[in-house]
């Protein structure tokens, strides 16, 4: 065993012990019965340990490592530096979702993947539900009104309400056996009562919350340079976003002229948005149809290699995510299993949503916009990428990822499919370009929010005016940007980095036909979801 293998193994073991919900989602079922320790002491311990692990990783000499081990070492360093940079911000004192997420995702993951017999899955879910009151009590002890932003609390209130119904009503329905279902229902009722108490706590906290969500320019720039290994700072990134917006705006005006005889692409998209399914289930069926069309296109063109045995279901979004996530999402196959079954979640509205808002959400998933989203989430976007990465033997790369690669790849997938002729109607193309301009607007908003140059309401208005979002979707989007600095910027930034890597890769080989593209796509995605600089090293 090499020096890095031993050190990385020890670090990963500690990581799984500290984050059993994440470990369980990776397919490490020995952690299924446990919920994360969310006490203040646990958060401070993890923060202190990051510096120690960094020191030990840097003591491993390059000449003792293989090429892949050097990449793994540098990847771990980037992850730990990200934690160090954000550490002083103390998100655990600010973010209610830190306490709602583990109990919800920890139970949902067990049932979506079902890696064990049903009775064992039910027992594990029951054990986690029984630990929810402890986790939420830790949240109530940790959250500091002077640090917690009001927008975080408002997002948490909606999620707590959905969580209560999920635990009380929906989780027991996952189990067929009567006795197991009865035990699960009792644990679900206990968890639901705790979610209700936490929701009441948040209602009170909302009146006191006075914290700032902006992390500031030094932190944002450090995350770009030292966590994502990118060569620019926050302000340079914002200028890139603005420049891309101008280029994409010109392309949208050109397409609007082709489709409607005028350049008002915003007005045209408002018209096209009204062409959509009659209800959320009809929307899901449209997504399923286009997901299969995209897969078939890949099979016919050979643009990528489709691994044997992969599948991607198209499902309604989890009920507990609906209040805080108004866009499609994807859940990967557990990395440490043989499964290649992924789940593409379609953005259903929360239960009880007024008909007028349901209509607005459907407008955000119009018939002509669905093809590009299906490509992004499934083929050859997230699902295909992650089943390719599944075969990488590195436990480091199975465990960790960066959205600058994974989201960058998914947006690149949209571009590659357009280049190869998948979108045959200009109305589909205009939504593809709109998806890219939306990501450029995200860069402007995300950087501006965290540099303190834009308020929440200004950001919402910007996304409505510049990115063609309905107001409910804009509010949900901006709320996410506030609590996850740099992530919203990852899509277009990562895509542009991947295009640059492709240009250099193909130039070295003197070929750009489909076979060369397939070789590039297969190699890059098989490297994992590394910072793009490390991904290029991996395929060099």
DSSP symbols for 155-181: HHHHHHHHHHHIIIIITGGG--SHHHH
Q: Are residues 122 and 178 in the same domain?
A: yes
Would 212 be classed as within a structural domain?
no
Strands (E), 59-127: none
- pLDDT of 330 higher than 90: yes
**Lowest-pLDDT range of 140-144, 151-155, 326-330, 498-502:** 326-330
Strand partners, 346: 316
C-alpha–C-alpha distance, residues 248 and 434, integer Å? 8
Enclosing H/E stretch for 329: strand 329-331
In a domain, 264, yes or no: yes
For the chain, report the end-to-end CA distance as a whole number of angstroms: 25
Q: Domain end: 174, 206, 238, which one?
A: 206
Instruction: Dig out the tokens for 362 from the structure.
Output: 């459907």
Tokens of 358: 């349901």
The token pair at 51 is 């510096």
Separation CA 139–CA 127 (nearest Å)? 19
What's the predicted TM-score (pTM) here?
Answer: 0.94
Total count of domains within the chain:
2
The verdict on 334 and 372 lying in the same domain is: yes
Instruction: Report the pLDDT averaged over residues 203-222.
Output: 97
- If asked whether residues 400 and 301 sit together in one domain, one would say yes
- DSSP assignment of 250-286 equals HHHHHHHHHHHSSS-HHHHHHHHHT---SSHHHHHHH
Tell me: do 234 and 375 sit in the same domain. Answer: yes
pLDDT for 256-302, tens place per residue? 999 999 999 999 999 999 999 999 999 999 999 999 999 999 999 99
Tell whether 412 and 455 lie within a shared domain.
yes
At residue 326, does pLDDT exceed 80? no
pLDDT for the residue numbered 1? 65
What's the token pair of residue 87? 């550490």
Q: Which residues contact 136 (CB under 8 A, 6 or more apart)?
A: 99, 100, 103, 194, 195, 197, 198
Cα gap 260→220, rounded to integer Å: 41
Q: Which residues contact 403 (CB under 8 A, 6 or more apart)?
A: 487, 490, 491, 494
- The domain boundary, picked from 206, 238, 255, lies at 206
Same domain, 166 and 239: no
Same domain, 261 and 399: yes
User: If pLDDT is split at 50, 70 and 90, which confidence band does 402 have?
Assistant: very high
Buried b (16+ CB within 10 A) or exposed e, 376-387: bbbbbbbbbbbb
Mean per-residue pLDDT for 57-85? 95
**Residue 219 domain flag:** no
| pLDDT tens per residue across span 459-476 | 999 999 888 787 878 888
User: How are the residues of the chain apportioned to helix, strand and coil, as percentages rounded to the nearest 5?
Assistant: 70, 5, 25
Instruction: Give the SS3 label for residue 312.
Output: strand
Residues 509 and 523: beta-carbon distance below 8 Å: no
Chain segment 28-65, per-residue pLDDT in tens: 999 999 999 999 999 999 999 999 999 999 999 999 89
Residue 222 lies in a domain: no
Residue 262 is assigned to a structural domain of this protein: yes
CB atoms within 10 A of CB 299: 12
| Tokens representing residue 325 in the block | 């996530």
Task: Say yes or no: 201 and 231 in one domain.
Answer: no
pLDDT of residue 454: 97
The reply to whether 109 and 252 lie within a common domain is no
Tokens of 207: 């009146």
Q: How confident is the model at residue 444 (pLDDT cuts 50, 70, 90)?
A: very high
Is 19 a domain residue?
A: yes
Same domain, 403 and 489: yes
Same domain flag for 45 and 182: yes
Would 15 be classed as within a structural domain? yes
User: What's residue 360's pLDDT?
Assistant: 85
* Cβ(206)–Cβ(160) below 8 Å: no
pLDDT at 144 over 70: yes
Last residue of a domain, one of 154, 174, 206: 206
Tokens of 99: 């306490």
Domain that holds residue 21: 3-206
DSSP state of 325: -
Question: What's the confidence (pLDDT) of residue 324?
Answer: 65
Give the chain's mean pLDDT. 95
* Bridge partners (DSSP) listed for residue 424: none
Separation of alpha carbons 385 and 390, rounded Å: 9
Most confident of 165-179, 323-337, 492-506: 492-506
Q: Identify the pLDDT of residue 470.
A: 77
Coil, strand or helix at 302:
coil
Angle at 313 between CA 309 and CA 315, to 5 degrees: 165
Q: Answer whether residue 162 is part of any domain.
A: yes
Q: For residue 169, how far is the Cα from the chain centroid? A: 27
pLDDT tens column, 163-207? 999 999 999 999 999 999 999 999 999 999 999 999 999 999 999
Looking at the fold, whether 159 and 264 belong to one and the same domain comes out as: no
């Amino acid at each position: 065993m090499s020096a890095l293998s031993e050190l990385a193994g020890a670090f990963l073991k500690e990581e799984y012990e500290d984050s059993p919900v994440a470990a369980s989602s990776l397919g490490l079922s020995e952690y299924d019965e446990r919920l994360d320790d969310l006490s203040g002491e646990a958060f401070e311990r993890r923060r202190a340990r990051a510096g120690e692990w960094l020191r030990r990783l840097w003591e491993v000499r390059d000449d003792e490592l293989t090429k892949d081990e050097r990449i793994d070492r540098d990847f771990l360093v980037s992850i730990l530096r990200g934690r160090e940079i954000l550490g002083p911000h103390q998100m655990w004192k600010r973010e209610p979702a830190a306490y709602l997420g583990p109990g919800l995702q920890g139970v949902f993951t067990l049932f979506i993947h079902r890696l064990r017999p049903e009775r064992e899955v039910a027992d594990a879910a029951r054990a986690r539900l029984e630990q929810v009151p402890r986790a939420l009590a830790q949240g109530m002890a940790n959250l500091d009104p002077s640090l917690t932003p009001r927008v975080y609390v408002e997002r948490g209130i909606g999620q707590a309400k959905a969580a209560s119904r999920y635990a009380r009503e929906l989780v027991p329905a996952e189990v067929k056996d009567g006795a197991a279902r009865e035990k699960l229902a009792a644990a679900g009722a206990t968890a639901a009562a705790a979610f209700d108490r936490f929701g009441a706590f948040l209602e009170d906290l909302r009146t006191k919350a006075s914290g700032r969500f902006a992390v500031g320019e030094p932190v944002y720039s450090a995350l770009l340079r030292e966590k994502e290994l990118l060569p620019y700072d926050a302000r340079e990134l914002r200028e890139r976003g603005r420049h891309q917006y101008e280029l994409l705006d010109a392309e949208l005006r050109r397409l609007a002229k082709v489709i409607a005889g005028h350049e008002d692409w915003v007005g045209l998209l408002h018209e096209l948005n009204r062409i959509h399914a009659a209800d959320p289930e009809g929307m899901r069926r449209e997504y399923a149809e286009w997901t299969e069309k995209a897969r078939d296109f890949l099979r016919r063109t050979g643009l990528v290699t489709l691994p044997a045995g992969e599948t991607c279901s198209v499902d309604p979004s989890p009920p507990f995510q609906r209040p805080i996530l108004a866009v499609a999402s994807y859940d990967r196959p557990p990395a440490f299993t043989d499964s290649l079954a992924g789940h593409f979640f379609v953005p259903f509205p929360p239960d009880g949503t007024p008909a007028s808002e349901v209509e607005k959400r459907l407008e955000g998933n119009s018939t002509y916009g669905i093809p590009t989203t299906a490509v992004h989430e499934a083929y050859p976007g997230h699902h295909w990428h992650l089943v390719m990465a599944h075969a990488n033997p590195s436990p480091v790369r199975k465990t960790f990822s960066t959205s600058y690669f994974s989201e960058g790849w998914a947006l690149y997938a949209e571009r590659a499919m357009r280049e190869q002729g998948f979108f045959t109607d200009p109305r589909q193309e205009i939504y593809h370009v709109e998806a890219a301009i939306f990501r450029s607007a995200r860069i402007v908003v995300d950087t501006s929010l965290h540099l303190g140059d834009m308020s929440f309401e200004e950001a919402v208005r910007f996304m409505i005016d510049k990115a063609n979002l309905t107001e409910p979707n804009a509010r949900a989007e901006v709320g996410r940007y506030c609590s996850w600095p740099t992530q919203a910027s990852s899509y277009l930034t990562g895509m542009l980095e991947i295009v640059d890597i492709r240009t250099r890769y193909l130039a070295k080989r003197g070929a750009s036909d489909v076979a060369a593209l397939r070789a590039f796509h297969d190699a890059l995605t098989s490297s994992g979801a590394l910072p793009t600089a490390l991904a290029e090293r991996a395929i060099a």
